[in-house]
Amino acid sequence: MSEASQAFRRAVPLAVEHHADLDSAARLMIAHAWVGGGAPHFAACLATHRGSLQSALTLALSSLAQAAVRQGAPPTPIPQLTTHVPVAPAPHGPFRGIDTRAMSILITSLDSAAGRLTAAGRRLAAELSAQALPPSPAWTVLRAADWCAAQAPDLRRRLDRIRRPSHWLPADVAAYELFGAHAAPAPALLSQLTPPVSALLSRLAAGDPACLVQLLALRDPGLPAHVNAWWHRLSPAVQGHLVTLHGFGSLNGLPASVRDQANRHQLAAEKHRLTAELARLHTPAALASISTDLRHLAVPGALAAQDQVVRQLKSIAMVERALAVGGRSGHPPAYLLAFDLTGTGRLAVSWGDPDTSDTTVTYVPGLNTRLSAFAGDIDRARVLWQQAQATAGSRTVASIAWLGYDPPQMSGTLTPGASVAGEAPARRGGTELAAFTDGLTAARTGPGRHVVLGHSYGSLVTGKAALLRPGRLADELIFVGSPGVGVDHATELGLPGEHVWVGEDRNDPVAMLGHFGRDPGAPSFGARRFPVGRSLMQQAHSAYWAPESVSLRNLGAIVTSRYDQIIEPPSITRPQLLLPQFTPTE
Amino acid sequence: MNQMPQISPLISLLLIAATGCAAGGTVQESAMTRSQATVRADQLVRETAKSIDAAPILELDETSAVPTPCLFSEDGVPERYSISRKYWLRNMPPRQHMDVSRQVRAYWQSRGHTITATGDDSAGNPNLAGESHPDGFILALAWAEGDNLYLAATSPCLAIPQPPSP
């Protein structure tokens, strides 16, 4: 039996054992352990982690099963890892009370889940890494564990403070504490986190790189501010060492210039490693192994390895080409805010310094995006910077292309947990996007606007992130070519409707789907529509960034809050009966 | 929750993906060469500028001299480019901006170009978008903060065999 098959066999009982670890907490919320105030937000976070947990476990098994097939094993069915908890959304409204007994059980349940999921996540990470598979599903499990670990003591402290002989408490006694626990970020939450995070950061500074892995898995909104303050207290010698650690540049909250330095170091190190690896794969011994494998009718491992190394080197070359444009021909410096070759990859490039700019816009891409094909997305951010900066006068703009999640791929359309037709990738992506924007906020050196622009499936990711940080993800949200953002009304995203913008080419079929919640372009959604021109149907979904186009000019105007500069098609003075694609050429 | 794909939206999404959902997907190409497109973009801007009574001085925006990729290979190598030329209109008193807008619009229309979008004239800032006839260049007259104006022309996607230098 192949190694991947054995890993799959070990992972199945692990997944089956843990896929329902958050179900009892979800049922307690439905049983009204806590009503009103911060309850809806807490329930939404719980539902997100519960769904992400089950998706991640399914994805992990799917990855291992596919690896086993690649090693010659027959296809193996993946057990059903989704459970049904009755949907009874916590009602919004003023705090009404808690059932102290149910709350106590909820806290115990979260405590237990934290421990169980931490152990499960570590085992899963080990299994995936041993097969050279992306460990992101394990990170999702660990994030759920971290979330539980952060919630339990916080809720226990609040429960202890407001516990009374009666099971139902007067609202005026408890409302403030419970409402504040989840309706606003953080000082309280951060104080709960402070001891372990401080300890991790101290150990990292003292030279324990294992702590970096744990810090990178945390997704608490208070963490980046903590990281930023910690960084500025370090000596130059320690700082100089830390930027050489693999993965350090992905730590949210670090200054952009530091992330850039660390990620460029990692880029160079990876290039060096892969170049050496490619040379090794061309040695006589490696070439001989190909012949041996072929004689035994086995897949030549050296050939597959060569292919992967060559593809990764091409991705590195793509990143180098993009970065080389920075600082040339009137362009601002390019900042490499994230870089990782694992899986679909991680890459974030900023045109301009997001820490000091007056406005920062983060572009979130969608279906089929991956590191090797990210050059076009980096260029979209570049032309948006060009457009916005050219018309912004003395105000400065930074424009980021962000590949910080695993976007659904065409090849995964029928894979549960990874399909473009489902919300699981968006839920995971939303968590990552929220953490990334927490980092941008923490690293700012002065006041500034933040805009998030979601395209296609990336608009759903943006919607999920907005739900995790109500009113705090961005000052402005823009959706183009959106199949839906996961809600039915703009205000559910935590911003007034006038700061939620939707651009839809009428020939863009994806924008017409309304697959994930109500169509954002529908008047009843409550967002502001802006003109984007009109392209041929086969181009419309990708034409929003054409230089000097109506769409790009309006995107630039919205990014820089120059709403009175939005341009619109002139009034039609004669009938237009033909769609553009059918207009005869002259 | 995991959701199995619903069939009809899925088919639509697959169709779109097949036609280039990711950046740098399907493009409408022009048969022009790079030098022809550069000359044409320059010509469109300069001839438009000549129609302005205030006789602005043209100043090239150097970012526009970098060709914009409009199609990439699977390895992220640019394969097709749009060529742009953007010129700031210097020596233009702000009080004449709306006159500029009217003159540019009249000139474009006289040459058979299409006006595709306009700004809100009541804001007092000229903004026009157009498309050249018959070759489909995107035309722009835009106002920028600081009371500056620019004219720009951008070619359709060009099948340039080698990556051009700026």
Contact B23 A565 (CB under 8 A): no
Contact B23 A374 (CB under 8 A): yes
For residue B120, give the nearest of A329, A422, A564 by CB distance.
Answer: A564
Digit-coded pLDDT (tens) for A356-412:
999 999 999 998 888 988 999 999 999 999 999 999 999 999 999 999 999 988 777
Question: B56 phi and psi, to 5 degrees?
Answer: -70, 155
Nearest Cα of chain A lies from the Cα of B70 at a distance, in angstroms, of 8
Digit-coded pLDDT (tens) for A340-352:
998 889 999 999 9
User: Around A35, how many Cα atoms within 13 Å sit in the side-chain half-sphere?
Assistant: 15
Contact B2 A417 (CB under 8 A): yes
Judging contacts by C-beta atoms under 8 Å, the chain A residues touching residue B10 are 413, 420-421
Contact B10 A330 (CB under 8 A): no
Contact B9 A379 (CB under 8 A): no
pLDDT attached to residue A171 = 43
Nearest Cα of chain A lies from the Cα of B53 at a distance, in angstroms, of 24
**Banded pLDDT at A94 (limits 50, 70, 90):** very low
Percent of chain A at pLDDT exceeding 70:
87
For residue B144, give the nearest of A368, A390, A421 by CB distance.
Answer: A390
For residue B138, give the nearest of A314, A549, A570 by CB distance.
Answer: A549
Q: Which helix (H) or strand (E) holds A360?
A: strand A359-364
pLDDT attached to residue A467 = 96
- Asked if residues A370 and A388 have their Cβ atoms less than 8 Å apart, the reply is no
Contact A546 B82 (CB under 8 A): yes
Identify any residues that bridge with B78 across adjacent strands, giving them in sequence order.
B72
Place of tokens 């090849």: A411
Digit-coded pLDDT (tens) for A156-165:
776 776 665 4
The mean pLDDT value for B86-103 works out to: 94
The contacts of residue A176 (CB under 8 Å, 6+ apart) are: none
Contact A421 B9 (CB under 8 A): yes
Judging contacts by C-beta atoms under 8 Å, the chain A residues touching residue B69 are 375-376, 379
Q: What is the ipTM of this complex?
A: 0.89
Does position B5 have pLDDT exceeding 80, yes or no? no
Among residues A174, A172, A137, A132, the alpha carbon closest in space to that of A157 is found at: A174
The mean pLDDT value for B15-21 works out to: 50
For residue A329, give the nearest of B10, B65, B75 by CB distance.
Answer: B65
* Cα–Cα distance measured from residue A135 to residue B86, given in angstroms and rounded to the nearest whole number: 46
* Cα–Cα distance measured from residue A475 to residue A457, given in angstroms and rounded to the nearest whole number: 21
Using CA atoms, how far residue A308 sits from A122, A277, A303, A412, in Å, is 26, 11, 9, 19
Digit-coded pLDDT (tens) for A118-154:
999 989 988 888 887 777 788 888 888 888 888 888 7
Judging contacts by C-beta atoms under 8 Å, the chain B residues touching residue A379 are 23-24, 68-69
Does position A556 have pLDDT exceeding 90, yes or no? yes
Digit-coded pLDDT (tens) for A144-202:
888 888 888 877 776 776 665 444 444 444 443 444 334 333 444 444 444 588 889 99
The mean pLDDT value for A228-250 works out to: 95
Q: Which of residues 50-79 of B touch A (CB under 8 A)?
A: 61-66, 68-70, 72, 74-78
* Crossing angle for the helix pair A187-205 and A136-162, to the nearest 10 degrees: 130
| Confidence (pTM) | 0.74
Q: Which helix (H) or strand (E) holds A97?
A: strand A97-98
